[in-house]
Structure 1
């Protein structure tokens, strides 16, 4: 369940940050709308209650100033569809509420109508017919206390009471014992969710979301820059440093990255200089030994010593080439990989080696020609030396170029396939260069291929033997 839930989240930092921002915006907007709607309704109710209280206070004064026989006609003149007035022996407000709008209206009335009983209710529901209230079904007003004479149509309609929505029911006990009853529906204005209100809100949310997405994308752009710089550093330690610009945190990270790159570069240079010095110092005694060997009278011993000295020189040269990592310093150019591989295979075939090529006639890539040729030559030579033959295949996979070298030899055990790439490691235990070499061939090949941003993998060949796959990214379209 936990894994499935996290799969719904965006995979990138930009997506997750944008999701949080958009969710925060929506929650903030929803909260603001709810608070606005509540305050709007409260304000409209307060205004309606204040107006109703003022009108009721005026009606009470008017009703008590006129004679009872004229009271009904006087109240008839004040009756409107949205402000119903009645007069009778019973109150229309049966529930006297002591909170909210009802309490506010009663407090306003009590300040000007001292000594009179006042009942106020906001309970929703149908207006019950009742001739004793002066407001009811079939009787618009009572013509006097206790009278049930019909007048105009009541607010409930001829078929009975109906819900009238939010309304104030106010009953005031007059001095003569009768009740002045008022039914004042509350006008809460137009519905809040109408295009005139929703459209600007949605447009504002969309604009703010777009601005937030652009800001997040701009803020997370340094992540991509650091990723590209780290990948470039893995291929070329001499790559140009990062630009130390942007916010303070980005500048600090760029400075730390540049310091790290400088330390790595100095370490590689120091190692190369040390090995170059050792190689130079060893050449002098090797030259002296070679001269002395030439004066040896024993031809057999002289030949053996000269062979050993040649092997020492070859090992020193190979070690120095590996330490210098010439593949990283050679410039990249556009070259035809298919022509290069075919030429190498044809040269070996002319020398009598069992070697074949299968693939396209042309495939252009961007690479360092000398380093790439040396790496592929090491792999093909190993296939011929240890497997007796080399079948070379060139193919593509997306934008990658793949060079596959297969042989029919004993192969390499799975547990040793990573170890053979270490310098000076040889599975063949003899020290003969004809069978074991210096142990640097695969190390030099992988260093050159990785300097191109690719890699070398080893696997079993179906039917026996070894399959070596070289991947080169960034193939030309």
Structure 2
């Protein structure tokens, strides 16, 4: 299942959220790096101050004359004296900080403090005995609260050891480590959340102004597609582009509706103008003395009338006048089969299931009669059954005829299309029966399916016509 939203609003909001996440991610990375470098630079400045002050005798001055560093990391519990030792302090497996060492060298060089070696690493106060002892003494001296002492012991230190050029001893300075740059994550997350709420909220309001009229237009188009009724058109609302689209759609619907009305009027006139002379011909052929000739002429007139009825029905199927009603499909199928049984036709009713659908019963009868008539004409027998599957009603009509070539199955549902010679005009009509049945099925939101039935050896043993109708 795709996680990408399908609606325009959902996709736009997802795009804005993704773009904002990318921008905020890049910004957070740059801020994190800059803050880390700033903290490191300030720490190394504090370390350099301690080292230079020790080298130049600041620590030997009276306390009121000493110069103390000012900055983020000065706290009386963390004012460690610079140690003079013979060897660099043990790192206890801690990795050296190469960038901090480079910064420290640069700062000391600018102050004419030449360094032969420098080692900088970070470790906790709890892992540094000297720092623990110094904090304990200062806590007793200044009567610091126990919780403050505990917090100080949990802190981290930068330990920097340098050996001046020409010297054999190391100078070791300790400075409290700056707050971790990870502390920026929470404010950045809160900032991102606030931006999301504001920006996505504004975009959602704008998109809603666009998508609401589009949704209404979609509903109207679907209504017009099923009914060809332009009533209920929506008023132009929303941005100018959407307004123009609605105006164009409304004008197109009225134009299509007018064309359909003109078509119905024209078809009505054609039907009237053709049926009147055909009725007169029926009367005139009664004067023909040759009975066989009179019968052929009457059959020809009946074929013309039947074809004309099919043409008019096919043209009007898209704009039915009878209402949709709840119909018990099994009863309707049984009634149509009984009509053929009463006429002595070989039509068999197989298994059926009680099925209620919303339909136009008159049109469904017409479709069933066309399909059963085709089965009788080309397959000698018609077997009709009704079942339900996957939310659909399936009316199945089987015959024992020669079937239809596989390449012609789809084309056979088109108007005026005939199959092979077994389905020519000598044994069939004008090629409108299946087209009309398909149009009626589609009028009800369904479809007509044609499938050749085959024996295990692959021989065609008949045709199955399946009228598929939705249950809801």
Q: Equivalents in 2 of 1:453, 1:440: separation in Å?
A: 20
Conservation of the 8 A alpha-carbon contact between 1:102 and 1:120: no
Describe the superposition over 1:385-418 as per-residue Cα deviations: whole angstroms up to 9, x where unpaired: 3222221111112211111111112222222222
CA RMSD of superposed structures (Å): 5.0
**TM-score, length-scaled by structure 1:** 0.67
Q: Which of residues 80, 83, 88 is equivalent to 2:80? A: 83
Greater shift in the superposed pair: 208-217 or 10-19: 208-217
Residue 26 of structure 2 aligns to a residue whose secondary structure is helix
Conservation of the 8 A alpha-carbon contact between 1:340 and 1:373: yes
Conservation of the 8 A alpha-carbon contact between 2:353 and 2:387: no
Equivalence for 1:152? none
Equivalence for 1:452? 444
**Where does 1:6-405 land on structure 2 (aligned, <5 Å)?**
10=4, 12=6, 20-52=15-47, 62-63=57-58, 82-86=79-83, 100=103, 102-104=105-107, 107=110, 110=111, 117=113, 119=115, 123-125=119-121, 166-168=158-160, 181=171, 183-185=173-175, 187-190=177-180, 192=182, 200=190, 235-238=226-229, 243=234, 244-295=236-287, 301-325=293-317, 328-405=320-397
Call closer, same or farther: CA 1:48–1:118 in 2, change over 3 Å.
same
Call closer, same or farther: CA 1:402–1:327 in 2, change over 3 Å.
farther
Describe the superposition over 1:414-465 as per-residue Cα deviations: whole angstroms up to 9, x where unpaired: 2222232222333456645xx3134321111111111111110111124411
Equivalence for 1:143? none
Greater shift in the superposed pair: 82-91 or 454-463: 82-91
**TM-score, length-scaled by structure 2:** 0.68
Q: Say yes or no: does 1:412 pair with 2:404.
A: yes
Equivalence for 1:424? 416
Describe the superposition over 1:348-395 as per-residue Cα deviations: whole angstroms up to 9, x where unpaired: 223222222234452110111111111112111221232222211111
Q: Equivalents in 1 of 2:394, 2:99: separation in Å?
A: 89
Cα deviation for residue 166 of structure 1 reads 4.1
Structure 2 residue runs of 5 or longer lacking an equivalent are: 68-75, 90-97, 124-129, 135-155, 456-460
Cα deviation for residue 171 of structure 1 reads 7.8
Cα deviation for residue 33 of structure 1 reads 2.8
Conservation of the 8 A alpha-carbon contact between 2:39 and 2:178: yes
Structure 1 residue runs of 5 or longer lacking an equivalent are: 1-6, 111-115, 128-135, 141-163
Call closer, same or farther: CA 1:246–1:359 in 2, change over 3 Å.
farther
Residue 84 of structure 1 aligns to a residue whose secondary structure is coil
Q: Equivalents in 1 of 2:197, 2:45: separation in Å?
A: 41
Cα deviation for residue 304 of structure 1 reads 4.4
Conservation of the 8 A alpha-carbon contact between 2:347 and 2:384: yes
Call closer, same or farther: CA 1:431–1:97 in 2, change over 3 Å.
closer
Question: How many residues in Structure 1 have an aligned counterpart in Structure 2?
Answer: 415
